[in-house]
Amino acid sequence: MADQIIGELPSKSVLILKNGVLLGHAARSLGLSSGEVLEELMDAQERNPFVAGQLKSINQLIDDDDIAKAQLLLNELHLKVGDIPEVLGAQAAIQSLQWLEESKE
């Protein structure tokens, strides 16, 4: 929730602390998305590293047309994270590629 609030504040209202030491005001803050606040100001990752890595692998397999392996990895990830937008998007991409392959036959 703090990341959403920070994105609503002007930079002069946001102080950056690291290990209890004041570093100064944020260079920018107003209008940043929650993910940008997390990465730029809070030095945190927007997404769980495991999930990010799995999504990257799945998308690379899709780009490489290794649909069967991409589907297997996606099924495993889906069981862990559910219907997040990136999982649904990858599933749609796989289904589109499968449809294209079937229409060639």
pLDDT tens per residue, range 41-93: 887 777 888 999 999 999 999 999 999 999 999 999 999 999 999 999 999 99
pTM score of the predicted model: 0.66
With CA atoms as reference, report the closest residue to 12 among 36, 1, 28.
Answer: 28
Instruction: Output 103 or 61, whichever has higher pLDDT.
Output: 61
pLDDT at 59: 96
pLDDT at 43: 77
Angle of helix 85-104 relative to helix 67-81, nearest 10 degrees? 150
**Which DSSP category does 26 fall into?**
-
Give the start-to-end residue ranges of the domains of the chain: 2-41, 49-104
Instruction: Output 49 or 2, whichever has higher pLDDT.
Output: 49
CA atoms of 44 and 40, how far apart (whole Å): 8
CA atoms of 75 and 97, how far apart (whole Å): 16
